[in-house]
Amino acid sequence: MTGRQIWLLALWLACVAADCGGGADNRPRATDARINLPPDQQDAHTLGAEVYDLIDRAVAYRSVHRGRPAANLTQMGVESLTPTTVRRMVNVQRDPVITVAYRRPERRQIVSCRGDSGILGEATTNGGRFTLMCTSRSGAQRPMEVGELPAPE
């Protein structure tokens, strides 16, 4: 056997030992469940993940700074613009309210969602799910439940 053949044999044995390419793990993944959602729910889940993260950061900032909330996202070290979204924060009686909107809403069913620090407690008691107020392309607002998707059966 040549050196190249030995390496190929070793690589093949490593793949067999690790079950590479085996069909043993055919379980549906969380991304599969998200793809099966209606377009408005997909948009709300995407925006909801950002809202949750920003609310979590804002509450953490407030607790570290002795109850004083951040005046804006930049003060928390967060950019207000991403390639796909615009983020806004206001404080209502020292409670952060975060709004995340798509920069290009033409192809979206839901164009923005907002939430306050209450979503952290709701997600904790509701298995990761929480309710946001979302705005559709037509301008109508409605509450939407987002967060962890139920496990596929």
**Residue 123, H or E segment:** helix 118-125
91-131 tens-digit pLDDT: 999 899 999 999 999 989 999 999 999 999 999 999 999 99
Residue 102 token pair: 């798509």
32-49 tens-digit pLDDT: 566 778 889 999 999 999
pTM: 0.75
Burial of 58 (0-12, 13-18, 19+ CB in 10 A): buried
